[in-house]
Chains A and B, each alone.
Chain A
């Protein structure tokens, strides 16, 4: 088991290296210029000097090598305190001329709070809804669940966000349309304000998660409920609650866990569209503004970090399955 985990981890490293090289090549080949957003009153030769100051003039392999060195050695070294801050050049954003990692660190908490609660809420609703839908197949809850899933799949977040903003922010005035990232929770009032401003983005995001996961959950639960051992459990006279939550749930989770695990990196990646609409200063918004500004170091670093998280989540789900399913333990 431990050998298996180590082997999977060793496989993950070359995968990440290839991913980072491909991302770098794609970004480098894509058209676009970090100077394109500047007013056209700034003359071309000044722009050239600015590009040179950003280190854009060097050949692509050199820039990739430097980035890799900074990503793998310098940044972890500074994070762990092994390298003093001014001893090495860190990965600098072209827009802010400041370290990319500080920017990511600054934004991670908001992303995790908003995305994390949306994901947790979405999964909870999805699992609950999936169980109930399968239990009373064709009943009112099943119908409602199917409808909700269809809506969640069909409506893109920019549309649901606009509708929710129109109803709850503009007409009813219950929630703000713009997330105040400088709000500090110090008491009940500010906590209420924080919850109010989180409500709409979380609603938009959890609808997506719910829609995606509840269908898997329902299907898995239906299959399990048709098994002989469930009939046996019912025949033993167990309470329906015990049959569902103890006997059926665990087995139904087997196909659902990988789906949940693979979706988990999005907690860190943020939600590009939803974060931008509400002005949540998360990683997704950072990615979008950096893409728009042609800020390649930020885009490169963020996408590779997300790729790393996806690879790790994949690994985690592979390692979690034997815990749910004893048949996999000897494999």
Chain B
């Protein structure tokens, strides 16, 4: 149990025994709300405070000041009990031996900011709210495997799954699926969800702050929740969460002018950020989870119907040579700086899941790549600098979305590949088209009308099963399934699918981690995809702001109750 939750339990116990005493301590020390206003800048403004109606990160994080889940994820990707007493496991009896149910126990004495008690009925309601047909709930995938929720006691909720669930921590863990107050949203089910604008813009929560005012697309004002379970926090009386502008102006407002205390998601060039930080008003902070920028090879001839194997890329040696020609360290330093690090894994975290078997992938080896290509029979016979075989030139179409760093990476790769005798044509597609999944457009990630493409992908939460299942044979997008699926390169290996199947039946977390590492190694060692950069989140905070612990697994504002103003 973490120090924090011990403190929480003690605080709640105190409150239960002698409520008057506890509140008088708070009044005497004046700890809650003594640090004035905290000014946070999100350059993408939140558009709603109901995370179930918008899957956007900005909205989920803004709501996390108010709405809380049963368990949060720590900066290391570990589960911390939050509104729950502890994390249910098979060992402590919270998870049934048949892996079909999980029993969550709420902390006693919890109240919503309006003073009413938090009960297991709120848990059951939140599930009903998200699964009501016609709501368009963004987090439906988290609840999909649930069959029903039973509430045997006011503080106990049992979640029953339709199938045995080796990793039952999808619903109510992490900032995407917090508890909603049943009383507030009772009339907002299904198609009525949008009609509850008032509730969507000012949900009642259990968090350290409550909503005072919300202006969609612009700003939100929060004030300290008088009913918050820890008597001495939050230290700030008010939070202004301002949205809008761009990453540049956000970085400037914290690092250069000091107008704001915290700026979120500063995707800026490393040189720009470093220059801003030299003014000494604030500092840059980074956190890493599983977001990996990668190259994927098309193992089919682009656009071929029925699919033909790719004449060059279906050969593992060719994929390996292309990978060896890249200098990942240079790419990270050039494009990301502190916001990225070299990785040789498609699954770089949590630590237990990261394989150590692929070290050294990042070293550039142009000579080795040239030798490898010569062995495959691709030789430059006509002396034009580009290898050929049986009259076909070794030329690839390399596509990605429009984005300054990605175009720099394309140019770097093109140059390195030129040096090993491979010609590359570059193509950049607008992100709103490339990532649209629109089956009518030929330019999507899934249609993959090119030989090589670059994009970023991440595992949703610390359990990688769903993420790794993205390389299963049946996850390949094609005309039959409406161009859906994450296996865009059409790689298919029955051994990989068999391992995945084992993972889906394994409950022990240590075994799961070992299987995940094995799956990761298959992807990396068969050059299905080339991990380029482990991308982190970069934010900045004022030097006068204490308690910030940036978190890439949960909301960045997950521990805002502990944030405080440093003296001086």
Contacts and interface: CB of A to CB of B under 8 A. Distances in A.
B216 A95 contact: yes
Nearest to A110: B218
B460 interface: yes
Nearest to B279: A170
A36 B244 contact: no
A96 B217 contact: yes
B30 interface: no
Contacts of A107: 218
A173 interface: yes
Contacts of A86: 195
Contacts of B194: 53, 92, 97-98
Contacts of B56: 37-39
A77 interface: no
Contacts of A281: 215, 217-219, 244
A279 B197 contact: no
A18 interface: no
A43 interface: yes
Main secondary structure of the interface of A (DSSP, over half): loop
Contact of A49 (B136, B244, B246): B136
Interface residues of A, number: 54
Contacts of B213: 182
B200 interface: yes
Contacts of B135: 53
A279 B438 contact: no
Contact of A95 (B48, B141, B244, B441): B48
B511 interface: no
A279 B242 contact: yes
Contacts of A285: 217-218, 244
Nearest to B49: A96
Interface in B106-140: 134-140
A13 interface: no
A176 interface: yes
A97 B193 contact: yes
Contacts of B473: none
Interface in B172-222: 191, 193-195, 197, 200-201, 213, 215-219, 221
Contacts of A165: 252
A36 B441 CA distance: 14
B26 interface: no
Contacts of B460: 39, 41
Given A43-B141, A50-B138, A178-B259, A103 B217 contact: yes
Contacts of A180: 240, 242
A40 interface: yes
A286 interface: yes
A54 interface: yes
A95 B217 contact: yes
A286 B217 contact: yes
B193 A53 contact: yes
Nearest to B192: A86
B54 A95 contact: yes
B260 interface: yes
A99 interface: yes
A32 B432 contact: yes
Contacts of B438: 31, 33
A199 interface: no
Contacts of A277: 245-246, 249
Contacts of A294: 432
Contacts of A137: none
Contact of A52 (B136, B259, B441): B136
Contacts of B430: 31
Contacts of A103: 216-217
Contacts of A45: 484
B197 A99 contact: yes
B523 interface: no
Interface of A: 31-33, 35-47, 49-54, 86, 92-93, 95-99, 102-103, 106-107, 165, 169-170, 173, 176-178, 180-182, 276-279, 281, 285-286, 289, 293-294
The 6 closest A-B pairs by CB, nearest first: A53-B136, A41-B460, A281-B218, A33-B436, A97-B194, A50-B136
9 contacts: A36-B431, A52-B134, A86-B195, A177-B257, A181-B215, A181-B218, A276-B245, A277-B249, A279-B243
Given A52-B136, A178-B249, 14 more contacts: A31-B432, A32-B433, A33-B438, A40-B435, A41-B458, A53-B134, A95-B48, A96-B216, A97-B194, A98-B48, A170-B256, A176-B257, A276-B246, A289-B45
